[in-house]
Amino acid sequence: MNDKNYTAPSLEDAITMATMDLGIPSDQLEYEVVEKGSRGFLGIGSRQTVIRAWKKEESTDAPEVAAAAPKEAVREEKAPVKKAEPVKPAKEEKRPEPVKEKAEEKKEKHKTTENDNAHFEEGKKFLEEVFDRMGMKVQIDYRYNEEENALEIDLSGDEMGVLIGKRGQTLDSLQYLTGLVVNKSGEHYIRVKLDTENYRERRRETLEALAKNIAYKVKRTRKSVSLEPMNPYERRIIHAALQPDNFVMTRSEGEEPYRHVVVFYRRNKNGEER
């Protein structure tokens, strides 16, 4: 048994790292937790998760009938399969989320009002109070994007990694709370996008690279792979990244906050492998 240690911010990340390194689907992975991680408070004092993982040993109880059979016999066994009625892919395998993403991109343009500007300042003041209690000096800059009807807030300063947190969870929490403050009594709903050190763009590039690596493994093994739970925005990135690939499909499964993306091999119209 060849085992190896993997260190990541969360158990899900460590498992994904192990499956990619070993080149196996998650259902063939066995592991034990060496050190349990901790997210801390708002990302402060967090600890990494460490697991020891290895490939699951295949059972040798059943005889290898197929391997011992002559080649002619194998061909004869495959023939009836080709004549069988093709199995149509389930309708649920279609990816609705990228379509939703396109629909969400069509936003009406809104001109800011004095009331909106006042709420923008309230959002900034809220963040200043949070950072003051955390003992952090953070520069807060914001601009209103009419095209996306979004208040874009950029944070800069020392130790910005603390504000990002594990997989951006701290940044997402601050973004959510700031959105509540900005939209508390506004004339219309305004999205709030919180970012620092271009984290959002870097995270998108990381997820797109992960999607392509998983797709390669699925095409090679013909076996589906489940990714770690992600928020709706990150799931849409995975769906969109693999939409042009004619050999794989994606779908979201599970309930929030454990909803995740599954990547599986796309079969042809007759239900056969390509």
| Burial status of residue 230 (CB atoms within 10 A of its CB: 0-12, 13-18, 19 or more) | buried
Evaluate whether 47 touches 37 at the Cβ level (below 8 Å).
yes
Based on the fold, state whether residues 273 and 215 are members of the same structural domain: yes
Based on the fold, state whether residues 241 and 274 are members of the same structural domain: yes
CATH number where 170 lies: 3.30.300.20
pLDDT digits (tens, 9 = 90+) for 79-89: 344 444 444 44
**Residue 63 falls within a domain, yes or no?**
no
Residue 87: per-residue pLDDT: 44
Residue 274: per-residue pLDDT: 53
Number of domains in the chain: 3
Based on the fold, state whether residues 192 and 228 are members of the same structural domain: no
Based on the fold, state whether residues 213 and 170 are members of the same structural domain: no
**Residue 65 falls within a domain, yes or no?**
no
Residue 158: per-residue pLDDT: 86
Residue 195: per-residue pLDDT: 95
Residue 109: per-residue pLDDT: 61
Based on the fold, state whether residues 169 and 222 are members of the same structural domain: no
In the chain, the amino acid numbered 153 is: I
Among residues 158, 179, 197, the one where a domain terminates is: 197
Report the alpha-carbon angle 44-184-108, nearest 5. Answer: 105
Based on the fold, state whether residues 142 and 175 are members of the same structural domain: yes
Can you tell me the distance from the alpha carbon of 158 to that of 139, in angstroms, rounded to the nearest whole number? 10
Residue 33: per-residue pLDDT: 86
Among residues 197, 229, 256, the one where a domain terminates is: 197
**Residue 142 falls within a domain, yes or no?**
yes
Residue 236: per-residue pLDDT: 94
Positive or negative, the CA dihedral 177, 178, 179, 183 is positive
Residue 5: per-residue pLDDT: 87
| Burial status of residue 180 (CB atoms within 10 A of its CB: 0-12, 13-18, 19 or more) | exposed
Among residues 197, 227, 249, the one where a domain terminates is: 197
Based on the fold, state whether residues 256 and 223 are members of the same structural domain: yes
CATH number where 31 lies: 3.30.30
Based on the fold, state whether residues 174 and 110 are members of the same structural domain: yes
Residue 265: per-residue pLDDT: 94
Q: Which residue range is the domain that position 152 belongs to?
A: 106-197
Beta bridge partners of 263: 225, 250
**Residue 12 falls within a domain, yes or no?**
yes
**Residue 96 falls within a domain, yes or no?**
no
Q: If the chain, 274 residues long, is cut into consecutive pieces of 10 residues, what is the mean pLDDT of each piece?
A: 78 75 74 77 66 74 37 36 45 44 48 76 93 92 91 91 86 92 83 92 93 94 92 92 94 90 81 53
Based on the fold, state whether residues 184 and 244 are members of the same structural domain: no
Based on the fold, state whether residues 241 and 217 are members of the same structural domain: yes
Residue 112: per-residue pLDDT: 64
Based on the fold, state whether residues 205 and 185 are members of the same structural domain: no
For 49-67, b where at least 16 C-beta lie within 10 A, e where not — what string?
bbbebbbeeeeeeeeeeee
Can you tell me the distance from the alpha carbon of 105 to that of 233, in angstroms, rounded to the nearest whole number? 12
Positive or negative, the CA dihedral 168, 216, 225, 31 is negative
Evaluate whether 253 touches 90 at the Cβ level (below 8 Å).
no
Based on the fold, state whether residues 142 and 214 are members of the same structural domain: no
**Residue 69 falls within a domain, yes or no?**
no
Residue 22: per-residue pLDDT: 75
- Three-state DSSP class for 13? helix
Torsion of CA 191, 194, 197, 202, to 10 degrees: -60
Place of tokens 């004092």: 45
